[in-house]
Amino acid sequence: MSETLSAPAAAKLGVRIHGTTQLIGVIGWPVGHSLSPSMHNAALEHLGLDWCYVPLPVRPEHLPEAVAGLRALGFRGINATVPHKLALLDLMDELTPAARAIGAVNTVMVQPDGLLGHNTDADGFIRDLRDGGYDPARRRALVLGAGGSARAVVYALASVGAEVTIVNRTAEKAERLAADMAAGTGGRVQANSFSRDALAELVAAAQLVVNTTPVGMWPLIDESPWPEEVPFPGQALVYDLIYNPRLTRLLRWAKQCGARARDGLGMLVQQGAASLELWTGRTPPVAVMRAAGEAALARP
């Protein structure tokens, strides 16, 4: 029995990789849950490009070999997700100023003379805020967490003139991040205690609260990084970088308090769109990418 697919069968299965197809992808461990292949391939099809975006599951100990092989395999670029964003810094031939200041790489461009590391997370975060009608410039922001995602968010906010306070259960990490970002941006960035009393005082004056921690992400959807005896003020926007589930326990509490709530799907879409534009030089179809991401989330 022949294993060759007919053209209609191939089209039905979504098979569209040829000898001329340009490859891009996302590297992580694990990476099977990523929405990026659905979003990017929908965009590439919309643009009529003979490109394909593939998931690349790579264990942390194999990252140097995987990155070294990108050019030999003909890749045009990759995105990076957990846990590789920090480790990629030392594997690049060149870094953009944003990637260097943030201390993380989420986008790699494979160039003839080497690998260029970008970070589009910060830009994606600001773009999504502004798409939602919120300008963070000169606002008072409270950021929960001090990990890799927090670095991009704090850098983004400080760069547009927001006043940022970082709180984290490990105070030393928050203090180091605040010092790094204040030095890297020249902005107003400080760290504070994660205690209930401190949070109550800080949030009363906050106009934007951003959760950068994974607390509340599927499958642990009943968890929250915020003590629910501390209410959010009605004038605040509460932004959760988590997008699965779309409505986290944190965001449910924000809505109960009368605050605005926004999930992280828009940031995922916007950072991906910025990466796609870097690789292809084409204006990305953001609405197409968002629709594909929403459809992927809706699948069981």
- Region 160-187: mean pLDDT is 96
Domain 7-119+266-298: assigned CATH number: 3.40.50.10860
Q: What is the pLDDT of residue 201?
A: 96
pLDDT at position 103 is 93
Backbone angles phi, psi at 202, to 5 degrees: -65, -45
- Looking at residue 19, its pLDDT comes to 85
Which class for 112: exposed (0-12), middle (13-18), buried (19 or more C-beta within 10 A)?
exposed
Which of 101, 226, 82 has the alpha carbon at shortest distance from 158?
101
Residue 209: per-residue pLDDT:
98
Write down the pLDDT at residue 33. 87
Percentage, residues of the chain above pLDDT 90: 91
Are the CB atoms for 289 and 256 separated by under 8 Å?
no
85 is catalytic: yes
Tell whether the model's pLDDT for residue 1 goes beyond 60.
no
Q: According to CATH, where is 3.40.50.10860 located in the chain?
A: 7-119+266-298
The pLDDT of residue 7 is above 50: no
List, for residues 11-52, the tens digit of each pLDDT value.
444 547 888 999 999 999 999 889 999 999 999 999 999 999
Closest C-alpha to 142, from 176, 104, 121, 168? 168
Integer-rounded Cα radius of gyration of the chain: 20
Spatial neighbors of 270 by CB under 8 A, at least 6 apart, are 123, 124, 125, 127, 128, 131, 286
In this prediction, residue 115 carries a pLDDT of: 98
Between CA 55 and CA 65 the distance in angstroms is: 16
> What pLDDT does residue 18 have?
83
CATH of domain 123-265: 3.40.50.720
Q: Which of 107, 28, 38 lies closest to 75, judged by CA?
A: 107
Confidence of residue 148 (pLDDT cuts 50, 70, 90): confident
Residue 203 and residue 22: Cα distance in Å, rounded? 47
User: Which of 220, 259, 275 lies closest to 242 in space, CA to CA?
Assistant: 220
Contact criterion met (CB below 8 Å) for 55 and 31 = yes
Average pLDDT over residues 258-265: 98
Q: 270-286 as b/e, with b when 16 or more CB fall inside 10 Å?
A: bbbbbbbebbbeeebbb
pLDDT value, residue 14:
52
| Domain boundaries for CATH 3.40.50.720 within the chain | 123-265
Catalytic residue among 12, 85, 173, 255: 85
| pLDDT classification of 95: cutoffs 50, 70, 90 | very high
